[in-house]
Structure 1
Amino acid sequence: MKIKIFASLTIVAFMLTFTKAHAQTQSSQALEAKISGIIKKLTLEEKISMLHANSIFGTAGVPRLGIPGLMTDDGPLGVREDLKEGWASANLTTDSATFFPNGSALAATWNPGLAYRYGHDMGEEARWRKKWIMLVPAFNIARTPLCGRTYEYYSEDPFLNSRLAVQAVNGIQGQGIAACVKHFAANNQEVERGRVSVELDERTLREIYLPAFKAAVTEANAWTIMSAYNKIRGVYCSENPYLLNTILKDEWKFKGIVISDWGGTHSTVNAANNGLDLEMGSGGNYSKYFFAQPLLDSVKAGKVSMAVIDEKIHRILWVMYHTVMATNPPAGKINTPEHSKTAYDIAAESIVLLKNEQHLLPLNTGNLKSVAIIGDNATEMFHLGGFGAGVKARYEVTALAGLQNRLGKAVAINYAQGYSGVYKPQRRDTSNKYNKPDTALIAQAVAAAKKSDMAIVFVGGNREWESEARDRKDLTLPFGEQQLVDAVTAVNANTIVVVVAGAPYDLGKIKKNNSTVVWSWYNGSENGNALADVLLGKVNPSGRLPFTFPNELKDSPAHALNAYPGTDLKVEYKEGILVGYRWFDTKKIEPMYCFGYGLSYTNYRYAALHTGKTSYTKAENITATIKVTNTGKYAGKETVQLYISKPNSAVERADKELKAFKKVNIPAGQTASVTLSIPVKDLAYFDNKTNKWVVEPGKYMLLAGASSRDIKGTASVVVK
């Protein structure tokens, strides 16, 4: 009887799967028929009108056939405010949105579930605002800590980026909004980004700079992708046939639209024939765009075929039927309590405790009568600023306001500005003239610190200092902040330093002289509340660094090899696959703070790591389990990181590579059994000679730990 029941259930499951697949096939066939029918009705002029911008963020539709235009919108901090024809605000009262934490903050959570919620909520807000393509997520690799867009991107690791990118795309597109993953590819510096040629070997491209894009396309089915400004091997990304046609459309089977970055198109015929589908720009005479009248003329001259044009229109209509022309779409929502909760949760899980030697944290409010809150970043709002995407937030809780909310009237707060964070440079100004201490403001801060039980000093960057279109000159803290920290620490031993930034800075002196250091970010609408809850112990800090902090800039690989920003408009990626922690660990260079680092208010004990089997075939998944016990008195979330190492490899490999991670909540005194899985195929390296992925047989080491430098357990397996 049991056998019969099992067989019946198996048949039912098979029939359900078959029925679903059949329905999807029918739906796909019906959509193809609709698209083909529309293409036959369009005139050449109407087709061309759909292939270029007709406003800063929009494209033209074809009213005659009921085809709407596509409205795009900037991320990644939230849905951008509406603009006039130009970059000035339209000054509407209906375009406020939720301010979500910046990209490296999201990466610091090491929590793909939060990446999904981030995408989901942003997708809801985009739909409410009728913005059908969100220009997000951006996840180029942090090759140099100086890159002006590090705050916007995710991390230095392709695997961490991939896991977050997939979930962000799933969240956005689940709301019937196209995610536009960017910038494809190797856009790792802002210096000469519009002209520089990135020179790198195929293995480096495939192992470091493409994996997150591949995952977003092949796993999350991203509907649009944005070509980068730079060149790769001498060819602009917006007209690079190897990048756009061979890899993206042929290998990865990308179905959607390749969109140029704004003003990032450089030709008509080459761009059209080599994979670009839609040209966007920042205004001007739209009829003169490369994909406007020049493209029409090129088709008539036989330089671009009608088949090429029809393929682009097919891709655009395919995206439209998933977004603006979708049937039964989800309802849009904006500024909901749920969205605020997502912003809060990301912020709370992103904050990294760097040092807590005197255990000043969590704050003991029972003994605290007064606290000095010092620093411009305590009152700075980060939803706007810099050259690039911002969001007109409905509200943003500053750090000062958050502490006032939580501390109430029981603790006297003495605020002092400490320094001015005003920075209004020319677009590409990277001078140090803004790094002078303000002696009068420092004196006021010292006075506030002297009369307070404790001082919390807020330093770091801001949205003007870290910005698209310019890289920082060095890692120095700006605005005379180091002098401020020194002066306050000298008069109050109970000084906590909170660094607010989106990219690494030189914290060497602070790390040496200050007992308590916290790293925060441009952390969204709920920034102040989340930070206050971490400082007070309501939330146990669980953020982990998404990139390596060097002791000196020259320790970072691109700088150690004099491979940044390049010469004669070429930058050679001499470090190859040894980016970030791969370089530091392989070359045995001590970082200031390593990749994956972060402290907690509690302690965790790791038990021995063991694997499901001792040997695996190339088609299997390696499973590894380790027990983690919370031995302290606070509940907390621990991120278990699993790295692999290949002893005696036939090719150069990094000392270790991240291949799995899991964030788990462990109550005080309890133990979690954490199981991680690595597909054996993910152990492959890319062979430049054969142009194929190769899983090298032999022994592999598995290293589980709390960071790339804090390995708690090891095990070995053999791949047959």
Structure 2
Amino acid sequence: MRNKLLALSLGVSFMALTGCQDGSATTGTKTETQEKDIFVGKPMSMEYEEEITKLISQMTLEEKAGMLHGTSMFATSGVPRLGIPELTMADGPLGIREEISRDSWAPAGWDNDFATYLPAGAGLSATWNPELAHTFGSVIGAEARERNKDVLLAPAFNIIRTPLGGRTYEYFSEDPFLNTQITVPYIVGVQEHDVAACIKHYAVNNQETNRGTVDVQMDERTLREIYLPAFEAAITDAHAYSVMGAYNRFRGDYLNENEYMLQNVLRDEWGFKGIVISDWAAIHSTVKALKAGADVEMGTPGPFNEFYFADPLIAAVKSGELAEEEVDKHVRRVLRLMYNIKSIDSTGRAKGARNTEEHFQEAYNIASESVVLLKNDKNVLPLNLEGVKSIAVIGDNATKKNALGGFGAGVKTKREVTPLEGLQNRLPESVKINHAQGYLERYSKTERAKFGDITLDGPVTIDELDPKLLEEAVNAAKNSDVAIIFAGSNRDYETEASDRASLDLPFGQQELIEKVMQANPNTIVVLIAGAPFDIEDISQKSSTLVWSWFNGSEGGNALADVLLGTVNPSGKLPWTMPKKLEDSPAHATNSFPGGETATYDEGILVGYRWFDTKNVEPLYPFGYGLSYTDFEFSNARLDKKEAYAGDETIQVSVDVKNTGDFDGKEVVQLYVSKLDSKVERAAQELKGFKKATVAKGATKTVTIDVPVKELAYYNMENNNWTVEPGTYTLKLGNSSRNILQEVTVQVK
């Protein structure tokens, strides 16, 4: 119910969310009506129930069971004699996964399963641009449809609780509001192409360590305020058609047999009408899981007929342990989804498109808005090529490709522009590139974790530098006018199935960066990674620091355009960069990773909420990111002087002036504080943001809508949302630690 108000801010405030106050968007122009409706999903239709009843009445028990479990790696059975096709699925965090064999994880070896490689989730969220999230969803939805997939196993948007998380690169952010603003338009974009989005991983799946067994414990307020808002909005606003049940336990029960989460919350409270698909091998029972609300079992090891929802389900019905009516209920849900995406009657179903130049351009647009400028003390950037005859390009990440890296889903793509290739594409021929690899991506010969065998250690790196490569890198830096070192991580090191053991940069990069900076003071450090690292020493010693991501097919071109000033950076960090691991809340409370049980002792103080409330200084705060220009905020004001009632919306306006020499985009972030609250609250919470495009010398008024009910906390005494009356401070800034304007409001 509370997230209906998020839909209001998502839909009505489209113009300001994208920062296009004149109505123009970054990838096209939309009418006022489209602006209001673009982020509102299409509810699942119930008009097919009579036809579904007729189909179920004609099916055998064996046919019904076949629709409720995998009969290949990524599909369930159809019933051809009744015109019911298979339900096909595809992984999709980075683009549509290459085709694999029907009965194993081995690649199928097709030559027509290429796809657009899209920026990873951390990069998408770093744009702070909901319209680009819609674009992302639309692109990947169209590509899934062209590959004849029915369900896209994405987006993944669990809260980033620890910077060590193996899937931080894939997830969106540490903040429930930012997660919601990215998640909803993404889902809408996918499902516009008659493909069901499968939101994951429901729920509280915030670590890879022991993910298959760990029992997560937290109070109800923490669950409702931090870990569920984006899932609720995905159901009530975007109308996602499917949900993936997570691996872990919650309050004792596995998520795929957790009646409270699957029935009480998901269906009874939120009104979910679609299907719950288990994560692969996340089902542990037949009767309990089915009755709790799981609908489709996928990925369980062993022959397909031995899945819990296969022969054991049939046996349970025949023995009387399970009523066939219970089976019918789940089959109905699957058929309902299939009718809604037009997979049974394909009349008018979207055709889709894949590997188009338009899609590569959209991948570029997302990547170019995701790059974060962390430091630019000497204004080395954008690169002034006047008098520059040579540039050293150093580091394995200058040529590293990430589309197919790591455990989990990869993308077989025809195009992945590396940073080196991007610079080669963009630099004039008069500038010589002196390339040096610098370091080797090396791992120990000890056996790495098998998929699903979760360890905290993950891949063990060899961190000594190769003397010859180091010498080549130092010489390249000495003999060039400018040096750019591309360091960071990759998708073999940041990966599903393991959390990192520390925040240390791998492969000896710390030493390499220091020696390159000593060899050439004009050194630009570019870090490519999906999660925080310990870069405090590098940050202190370098004058110029850029953060990029696993950024898709056009990532290298986008990064080169930022370095050269064709694109003014506008990315903002979607998580807090700590000075040391112990500063992060899950580690400060010694509650990560836990053992059999993980108790979230930090409660609601996740991410910047902890840092700001506990007065812990981060290295770089949540929402941080510089520009090549400067912005001033002034004249913050409200739409009225009187107190606001609970059903009203607070309208906050601020003037943003571009005082520099470049056109640019700034993200106006609105945080809310209530100092005299009767309950524990974070020092401040993000409750609104808008990305504004402001020409140099110009001033633009940015208006943010905050429904009063967004100020509520979850009251555990009555299990409801409560808005405290009184005074609230609305803080406007360009990061959680750089507040530039404040206004106070009274709430009745």
By how many angstroms is 1:141 displaced?
0.4
Q: Are residues 1:335 and 2:335 paired?
A: no
3-state SS of 2:189 partner: helix
Match of 1:579 in 2: 606
Deviation digits for residues 622-678 of structure 1, max 9, x if unmatched?
110001000111000110001111121010000000011111111111111000001
Deviation digits for residues 520-550 of structure 1, max 9, x if unmatched?
0000000110000000000000000000011
Q: Are residues 1:109 and 2:127 paired?
A: yes
Q: Are residues 1:648 and 2:676 paired?
A: yes
CA distance in 1, matches of 2:183, 2:448: 33
Using the size of structure 2 for normalisation, the TM-score is 0.92
8 Å CA contact retained: 1:55, 1:283: no
Counterpart of 1:471 (choices 499, 518, 530) is: 499
By how many angstroms is 1:300 displaced?
2.3
Match of 1:588 in 2: 615
Match of 1:146 in 2: 164
Q: Are residues 1:491 and 2:519 paired?
A: yes
3-state SS of 1:312 partner: helix
8 Å CA contact retained: 1:608, 1:714: no
8 Å CA contact retained: 2:422, 2:560: yes
Match of 1:193 in 2: 211
Map 1:57-456 onto structure 2 (within 5 A).
57-84=74-101, 85-281=103-299, 284-323=302-341, 324-325=343-344, 326-423=346-443, 426-427=448-449, 428=455, 429-430=457-458, 433-456=461-484
Match of 2:24 in 1: none
CA distance in 2, matches of 1:153, 1:28: 30
8 Å CA contact retained: 2:581, 2:587: yes
CA distance in 2, matches of 1:562, 1:199: 14
Q: Percent identity?
A: 54
CA distance in 2, matches of 1:605, 1:315: 53
CA distance in 1, matches of 2:387, 2:173: 39
Amino acid at match of 1:668: K
Map 1:532-681 onto structure 2 (within 5 A).
532-567=560-595, 569-614=596-641, 615-681=643-709
Match of 2:735 in 1: 707
CA distance in 2, matches of 1:301, 1:665: 66
CA distance in 1, matches of 2:68, 2:214: 26
Shift in alpha-carbon separation, 1:113–1:199, aligned structure 2, 3 A = same
By how many angstroms is 1:303 displaced?
2.5
Q: Are residues 1:531 and 2:549 paired?
A: no
Moved more, 305-314 or 243-252: 305-314
RMSD between aligned residues: 1.3
Amino acid at match of 1:604: F
Counterpart of 2:710 (choices 670, 677, 682) is: 682
By how many angstroms is 1:695 displaced?
0.9
Amino acid at match of 1:58: A
3-state SS of 2:124 partner: helix
8 Å CA contact retained: 1:196, 1:231: yes
8 Å CA contact retained: 2:489, 2:505: yes
8 Å CA contact retained: 1:616, 1:719: yes
Match of 1:8 in 2: none
3-state SS of 2:71 partner: coil
CA distance in 2, matches of 1:102, 1:238: 27
3-state SS of 1:608 partner: strand
Match of 2:26 in 1: none
By how many angstroms is 1:613 displaced?
2.0
CA distance in 2, matches of 1:301, 1:681: 51
CA distance in 2, matches of 1:593, 1:321: 48
By how many angstroms is 1:86 displaced?
1.2
8 Å CA contact retained: 1:402, 1:529: yes
Shift in alpha-carbon separation, 1:691–1:214, aligned structure 2, 3 A = same
CA distance in 2, matches of 1:557, 1:205: 16
8 Å CA contact retained: 1:639, 1:706: yes
Shift in alpha-carbon separation, 1:585–1:563, aligned structure 2, 3 A = same
Deviation digits for residues 168-189 of structure 1, max 9, x if unmatched?
1000000000000000001000
Deviation digits for residues 182-220 of structure 1, max 9, x if unmatched?
000010000000000001000000000000000000000
CA distance in 2, matches of 1:30, 1:198: 39
Moved more, 423-432 or 82-91: 423-432
CA distance in 2, matches of 1:430, 1:256: 35
Match of 2:60 in 1: 43
3-state SS of 1:607 partner: strand
Match of 2:536 in 1: 508
Moved more, 180-189 or 282-291: 282-291
Shift in alpha-carbon separation, 1:493–1:29, aligned structure 2, 3 A = closer
3-state SS of 2:48 partner: helix
Amino acid at match of 2:123: A
Structure 2 regions of 5+ residues with no counterpart?
Answer: 1-41, 450-454
Structure 1 regions of 5+ residues with no counterpart?
Answer: 1-23
3-state SS of 1:182 partner: strand
3-state SS of 1:168 partner: helix
By how many angstroms is 1:29 displaced?
5.8
CA distance in 2, matches of 1:333, 1:283: 34
Runs of 4+ off more than 3 Å: 27-30, 422-425, 428-433
8 Å CA contact retained: 1:272, 1:304: no
CA distance in 2, matches of 1:694, 1:347: 39
Using the size of structure 1 for normalisation, the TM-score is 0.95
8 Å CA contact retained: 1:86, 1:282: no
Amino acid at match of 2:416: E
By how many angstroms is 1:440 displaced?
1.9
Match of 2:71 in 1: 54
8 Å CA contact retained: 2:281, 2:301: no
8 Å CA contact retained: 1:144, 1:556: yes
3-state SS of 1:175 partner: coil
Amino acid at match of 1:100: L
8 Å CA contact retained: 1:141, 1:209: yes
By how many angstroms is 1:28 displaced?
4.6
By how many angstroms is 1:299 displaced?
1.9
By how many angstroms is 1:155 displaced?
0.3
CA distance in 1, matches of 2:350, 2:442: 42
Amino acid at match of 2:448: Q
